[in-house]
Chains A and B, each alone.
Chain A
Amino acid sequence: MTIPTNPRSAYGEALVALGAKDPRVVALDADLSKSTQSIMFKTAYPDRHFEMGIAEQNMVSTAAGLALAGKIPFLHSFAVFASGRVYDQLRNSVCIPNLDVRICGSSCGLSDFGDGKTHQSVEDVALMRALPNMSVLCPADSLELAAMMECILEWRGPVYLRVNRNDLPFTTSPDSAYRIGQITPLRDGDDAAIFASGVMVSAALDAARMLDAKGVSARVLNVGTIKPLDGEAAVRHAAGVRAIVAAEEHSVIGGLGSALLEALRGAPHAPVELIGIGDRFGLSAESYGALLAHFGLTAEAITSAVLTLLEG
């Protein structure tokens, strides 16, 4: 089976596959099934798909009820609404009772570049990560997304999955076994360690190649599971280098960088720089690339951060 480069299409296909595998899988939408591509599930299993209308809070607590009665609900909306708008419903209806609800935060980060700050989610990882029992997944590409979806069915407790709106280059390998919580080394290197998630994984690989040209060898770690973060692995992968960078399409407050620093505390480690979005909201732009560049979410920015740390 070929996996589409667009994560939304890959998500829709994977959801249909899960639906075939397990009759407990149901899907709920808030009038965005075309954007999230859960419409594929609706077409395949109309009786197990519920269009809840533009009413996200009700959708989340309804999913809790479905889970309490034995279903495995997958919820869909834009990441900004699927996390922030329904925070209290996720917290009380879903996370406190630790229900098997899966939340697809689609159009995550800045990936809905045209719609601007109201529709972009640069705080969702921080919000979701703070919720006890919630797991937070951020795939680097469609292959990793598909691998995560394979694992997600068996996982106990709620899962928040960030899905990018745009095509992402393949950076992960289709044949490696995946488990939730895994930090995947993509490249070896002795001078620096670059931890990255989501769209920033390919930027991190580009940065490593740019650093190579300058005689600096950097290892690249794909952190697909931001929570639960494998702290032991994080410490191991961070060991022995002279510079550590975390790169994410998210606020530097509370995301991957924060999770990494939490994991590294107590262990000796090199200086750390965080590449992410400062304490601010997104904005509209004519292209995704332009927006990522505007916020300094680039291979160049990662490269420069590594070099600065090494010079320091």
Chain B
Amino acid sequence: MADARNGRRTDDIRSLERTASKLREHVVRMIGVGKAGHLGGSCSLAEIAAALYFRAMRFDPKNIADPDRDRLLLSKGHSVLIQYAALIELGVIPLAEREKVKTLGGMLQGHPDMDKTPGIEAVTGSLGQGLSIGVGMALALRLDRRGARVFVIMGDGELAEGQLWEAAMAAARFGLDRITGIVDRNRIQATGPTREVFEIPQIEEKWRAFGWNTLTVDGHSIPAVLDALDRASGMHGAPTVIVADTVKGKGISFAEDTAAFHNGILTQGQYDLALAELQAAQAAPEEGRSA
């Protein structure tokens, strides 16, 4: 079956949608009951993570040190649970580690740590540094004439960090078209909605002013995200940022668009409900399909 809008096969899209739900399920299981975890900003990235790891990126789970691999940097490192979920689903991280997140001796730290976790490319989480690291990687890859791409996921709240704009200027100045930025615009930061805490207006205009191409997409639409990633890879001479409109806590009814689940604690009831909703979304033939 071909998708009318873009020629993608609908069963392929449906498969990635299921994967996104499966990733959310891993996230919920990682957080568990009675423990704090960054549910909201992880779930807002589920479709983006699924599209990147399971379709767009050149990334071989059996050869994660391949120098030609595409790199994914999570500048908003607090949302690393979704990256762990993808790496678990790809078999890079053992499933047994899933219930040991943030435990002493565990492989899965509270923020991305390349020394502890296979598949993690850098140390990120001190906000604002990820794009700069991506600039360095892209410069090195270009010096070595490797065609690998660098994807950097940032938060919309994180854009208040001046270092990101330093990096934006550098990426444009050096013409690093192998960098694709992704802004997870879920409009909620740690202490509340960005419009109340520290709203950064005209995000796309700012990136354009710094010399970037911009694309704006529904970050929960697999076809839209895949299209944007395709288009970004086809743009030459300047880096591209995809501003993805997302919903914090997406896919879990009580957590959607709720600041409390930026780094919240799930009760047993909420945990059970979240899993039930996510499993239903995976099982249903068309339900849970993004509009």
User: A57 in the interface, Cβ–Cβ < 8 Å?
Assistant: yes
User: B93 in the interface, Cβ–Cβ < 8 Å?
Assistant: no
The chain B residue with its CB closest to the CB of A62 is B136
A35-74 CB contacts (< 8 Å) to partner B: 47-48, 50, 52-53, 55, 57-71, 73
B66-94 CB contacts (< 8 Å) to partner A: 67
The chain A residue with its CB closest to the CB of B128 is A57
Chain A residues with Cβ below 8 Å from B115 are: 96-98
Return the contact of A96 from the options B121, B123, B170 (Cβ within 8 A).
B123
Contact A58 B122, CB 8 Å, known A52-B170, A93-B133? no
User: B137 in the interface, Cβ–Cβ < 8 Å?
Assistant: yes
The chain A residue with its CB closest to the CB of B173 is A53
Contact A66 B137, CB 8 Å, known A47-B143, A53-B169, A61-B167? yes
Complex interface bits, B131-149 against A, C-beta within 8 A gives 1, otherwise 0: 0111111111101100000
Which bracket fits the contact residues of A? 20 to 34
B207-246 CB contacts (< 8 Å) to partner A: none
Q: How far is the CA of A73 from the CA of B135 in the complex (A)?
A: 13
Chain A residues with Cβ below 8 Å from B169 are: 53, 55, 58
Contact A64 B143, CB 8 Å, known A58-B166, A93-B132? no
**Cβ A62 vs Cβ B123 within 8 A:** no
**Cβ B126 vs Cβ A65 within 8 A:** no
Chain A residues with Cβ below 8 Å from B137 are: 65-66, 68-69
Chain A residues with Cβ below 8 Å from B141 are: 69
Chain A residues with Cβ below 8 Å from B129 are: 57, 61, 64, 89, 92-93
B146-205 CB contacts (< 8 Å) to partner A: 162-163, 166-167, 169-170, 173-174
Most-contacted residue by chain B among A62, A96, A97, A98 (CB, 10 A) = A62
Most-contacted residue by chain B among A26, A88, A97 (CB, 10 A) = A97
**Cβ A92 vs Cβ B136 within 8 A:** no
CB distance from B269 to the nearest CB of A (A): 37
**Cβ A97 vs Cβ B123 within 8 A:** yes
CB distance from A77 to the nearest CB of B (A): 14
Q: How far is the CA of A217 from the CA of B182 in the complex (A)?
A: 67
Chain B residues with Cβ below 8 Å from A93 are: 122-123, 126, 129, 132-133
Q: How far is the CA of A65 from the CA of B122 in the complex (A)?
A: 8
The chain B residue with its CB closest to the CB of A101 is B136
Q: How far is the CA of A35 from the CA of B167 in the complex (A)?
A: 24
**Cβ B133 vs Cβ A88 within 8 A:** no
Contact A70 B166, CB 8 Å, known A61-B133, A62-B132? no
**Cβ A69 vs Cβ B132 within 8 A:** no
User: B125 in the interface, Cβ–Cβ < 8 Å?
Assistant: yes
The chain A residue with its CB closest to the CB of B133 is A65
27 contacts between A and B (CB under 8 A): A26-B140, A50-B139, A53-B166, A55-B163, A58-B170, A60-B132, A61-B129, A61-B133, A62-B167, A64-B122, A64-B129, A65-B134, A68-B121, A68-B133, A69-B136, A69-B137, A69-B140, A69-B144, A73-B136, A89-B129, A89-B163, A93-B122, A93-B129, A96-B123, A97-B115, A97-B122, A98-B115
Which residues of B line the A interface, CB within 8 A? 67, 113-115, 121-126, 128-129, 132-141, 143-144, 162-163, 166-167, 169-170, 173-174
